[in-house]
Structure 1
């Protein structure tokens, strides 16, 4: 383990590397547990595989080191980290380090900070893990498809002064299409199907597509259309509306239902659960049988978090929440998704006390429980920004939806990427951004690369609780947030919706430092797709 200990933690379920600094994991089957790699140097190999997602349901996937999620990487605060990406996929790929403030050249954005890594080629990422917290990594090349196929994993920076716990588990949330259907495959045939009426198509009609790869299905909100401007169906004069209900398998760490690994505890343990949403839908998580605290959002600590019980923690795409509880109620208890969809039944993990009888807790995924409002949670404390201070730059971002050339697109101030207006700053600027969701039905989880921001207000009201520092914030229809940040990391950075269906259909802009000079030159032959 290269000298990196995780004091007090239980490692009985961890599949660690062999101690070499490369962090390689040899795998050869679909049931291997996700590795947890420690050290300072790692190799991540992107390759096609298959994985049993639910009992009896094996799907084609794209993987890092032959598993979905890819290996969890754990490093110590202040360590210099080196990650070698090897691409054994048929398509180009990159890795973005979501939430980690890396140098711009290491951000993994094809056409912006690097060229996409071609099949058979490699790329090395190097950065210092300065800020502790829960993060994740994922492909940012054609992300709406590659992340959906499984190209992601968690990344934990262990803080020098962080609270010690006895058990530290990461739960990566995602959703899949059980049919294995591929929108990309459908698009290939669309021009031959242009005269057909698909308005009444049911999921059962698609059972003959079970061998297809589900991950190319471009979907979004109820009133949204199928994604990217390159969608071949448009040439046939057709519009495939997003239907998120097609995601009918919800997973924790790449598994659904009885395949989800139990979380072992013993009475008296202090337990941390790191919740990471790698999917395109928000998930409403309920911890049974225990009082708990939300100790961090997007890896950043909350001040004096209050005790919660039977509350929902809502986690939007790209967000992370750390929750902590004391194992003081022996038995077997669930942590589960809540909602009306049948798919929520698969997003459950059992918290199993040593020696406890199986089945001592029952699901209640349809119970109506109160969700935590982060704008009113915790206690006020010292913060970097206030609503009424003077800022160097102020911007407004109107997030909306409109029809364009017969398709639904997702806009920022009425424009779609790459024609959206950039946020131009200089190093040292203080920047205030007003975000407004004017879409009628779609959430927009907005993610800023390379920076943390402070949330100042929600719907015109200043935050009442803890200062909230994030890199991803979800706006529900009609909501408005004001955020602020310091321009302290020079480069050209993405600012986009992390429902990647929306990003691929236009909801992307860039934060650019006007005094920043880059040596990067985009290769027009690289097939760069940064959205």
Structure 2
């Protein structure tokens, strides 16, 4: 494949340009309605409904990219459709996603649509909601997302997620609002990191020491498959919608913004009252997404940066104003509109309440003597390498029973307790939740499907169990997921 390691500016199109759309099939309701109208005109010959268009293909297979200069070799990766750049799939709200995954890797594969309140059979958890797609096999993902928003495409197979993700498989699903806010550009940024050896090859997978501690933290960070910073040019005065998603195996960080005011318009795909990040930073564990609204300065040559707080700071994207100032005046940045498919409130009085306790992993030995000049001790793990983590005393495996069953329409409150030595990034499948205040006297003013729980802490989340099926509560650090850090519940 072509060498994509050289950064290129991303040129922002003019206001009249439109992103490409997926071909969509007419809904059954639309087809029936059309036939009924024909019936009013009198008898007609029987007609065969038009066949649904062929789904778009999504080929997962091997590729190569140069991450390190010669004499290091090119890195053997996995990618979609032969491109190191993660795909950004765009549909309008109400349109179906129809993608046929073809697996040409040498490992089983399935794709989780992270954050989509999906139908259960399309949630994409290999070994739970579907059989994993074997090498050489294919699977049709066909669903209509109920919500507009920004979602991740992540490999998720019981016991086998870290490798396809760590080899590069990731993507973004963008479901556009029926009436989206007026912007001059709508851009997606997918963060990934890679664990490379000195010769450019990927470090082998399956290390228990990674799984039992912080996960497979990479030593090279990319945005949209390319080197950082991602260079973006836009005309002065442009308004940009920036969709950022953390597709890393394990790396959580914080985002900081410099040179421009940033307003958060959606968290984990769900719209919120627009707000400025506290101290211009946002938490960014794996699986998290933000929709950001940015008004660029009016002068040419101004710069704005998105920085990950890794080390002394790593610039992920840099926006530079270039050209003539846009004459079009925009109203002040405001909310992008509420999602009326979510409940206006979550009534806690009659909620089903359950405890969810996370245990396992490595322990950090206590330091003895004068530790002032000593390096921090390494975490130690001596247990079963396949059952490193547990929830309510059980390590997640295919076929295990759900920890509870709830009737559809019931409110659920989960008390999540982290009894491990590490922060835990967790994801609720098929639903979104409110993070409750400690005394259940209120909640954070946005919906989430992913959040980070610090070590030794308890957090309570509340959600309306309105989506039937078997759903996971899972680690978004994929080495932990592969070694047991997940459980499930049933909605009937």
Match of 2:237 among 263, 268, 272: 268
Give the Å deviation of 1:215. 6.3
Q: Deviations over 1:205-224 (max 9, x none)?
A: xx4xx3643362547xxxxx
Give the Å deviation of 1:21. 3.8
Count of aligned positions: 406
Equivalences for 1:512-527 in 2 at 5 Å?
Answer: 512-513=490-491, 515=492
Equivalences for 1:365-380 in 2 at 5 Å?
Answer: none
1:295 maps onto 2:265 in alignment: yes
1:133 maps onto 2:103 in alignment: no
Match of 1:385 among 340, 346, 352: 346
> Alpha carbons of 1:168 and 1:114: their partners in 2 closer, same or farther (altered >3 Å)?
same
Equivalences for 1:365-444 in 2 at 5 Å?
Answer: 383-386=344-347, 388-391=348-351, 393-402=352-361, 405=383, 409-418=388-397, 422-440=403-421, 442-444=422-424
Structure 1 consecutive aligned stretches of length 4 or more whose deviation exceeds 4 Å: 14-17, 54-57, 241-246, 459-465
1:156 maps onto 2:174 in alignment: yes
Secondary structure in 2 matching 1:502: helix
TM-score (norm 2): 0.75
Q: Report if the CA contact (8 A) 1:452-1:470 is conserved.
A: yes
Q: Deviations over 1:177-224 (max 9, x none)?
A: 131xxxxxxxxxxxxxxxxxxxxxxxxxxx4xx3643362547xxxxx
Residue in structure 1 matched with residue 122 of structure 2 by the alignment? 106
Residue in structure 2 matched with residue 456 of structure 1 by the alignment? 436
Match of 1:480 among 453, 458, 464: 458
Worse-matched range after superposition: 85-94 or 413-422: 413-422
Give the Å deviation of 1:54. 5.8
Task: Return the alpha-carbon distance in structure 2 between the equivalents of residues 509 and 472 of structure 1.
Answer: 15
Task: Return the alpha-carbon distance in structure 2 between the equivalents of residues 100 and 154 of structure 1.
Answer: 11
Q: Deviations over 1:331-351 (max 9, x none)?
A: 23322112326xx53x52210
Task: Return the alpha-carbon distance in structure 1 between the equivalents of residues 135 and 384 of structure 2.
Answer: 35
Give the Å deviation of 1:329. 5.5
Give the Å deviation of 1:389. 2.0
1:494 maps onto 2:472 in alignment: yes
1:213 maps onto 2:213 in alignment: no
Worse-matched range after superposition: 49-58 or 284-293: 49-58
Secondary structure in 2 matching 1:147: helix
> Alpha carbons of 1:164 and 1:505: their partners in 2 closer, same or farther (altered >3 Å)?
same
> Alpha carbons of 1:63 and 1:473: their partners in 2 closer, same or farther (altered >3 Å)?
same
Task: Return the alpha-carbon distance in structure 2 between the equivalents of residues 324 and 488 of structure 1.
Answer: 31
Q: Give the superposed CA RMSD.
A: 3.0
Residue in structure 2 matched with residue 364 of structure 1 by the alignment? none
Match of 1:81 among 93, 97, 122: 97
1:59 maps onto 2:66 in alignment: no
Give the Å deviation of 1:60. 1.5
> Alpha carbons of 1:321 and 1:340: their partners in 2 closer, same or farther (altered >3 Å)?
same
Q: Report if the CA contact (8 A) 2:360-2:420 is conserved.
A: yes
Secondary structure in 2 matching 1:216: coil
Worse-matched range after superposition: 422-431 or 284-293: 422-431
> Alpha carbons of 1:475 and 1:243: their partners in 2 closer, same or farther (altered >3 Å)?
closer
Give the Å deviation of 1:460. 4.5
Unaligned 5+ segments in structure 1 are: 1-8, 23-38, 180-206, 220-224, 228-240, 357-380, 516-531
> Alpha carbons of 1:443 and 1:309: their partners in 2 closer, same or farther (altered >3 Å)?
closer
Residue in structure 2 matched with residue 349 of structure 1 by the alignment? 317
Q: Report if the CA contact (8 A) 1:172-1:275 is conserved.
A: yes
Match of 1:97 among 89, 113, 138: 113
Q: Deviations over 1:390-440 (max 9, x none)?
A: 21x211111222567365822212321135762312222221111122222
Equivalences for 1:125-274 in 2 at 5 Å?
Answer: 125-141=141-157, 142-179=160-197, 207=198, 210=199, 212-214=201-203, 216=205, 218=207, 225-227=209-211, 242=213, 247-257=218-228, 260-274=229-243
Secondary structure in 2 matching 1:436: strand
Q: Deviations over 1:87-120 (max 9, x none)?
A: 1112221111111122111112222222111222
Give the Å deviation of 1:134. 0.4
Task: Return the alpha-carbon distance in structure 2 between the equivalents of residues 429 and 464 of structure 1.
Answer: 18
Give the Å deviation of 1:317. 0.7
Unaligned 5+ segments in structure 2 are: 1-11, 25-52, 325-341, 362-380
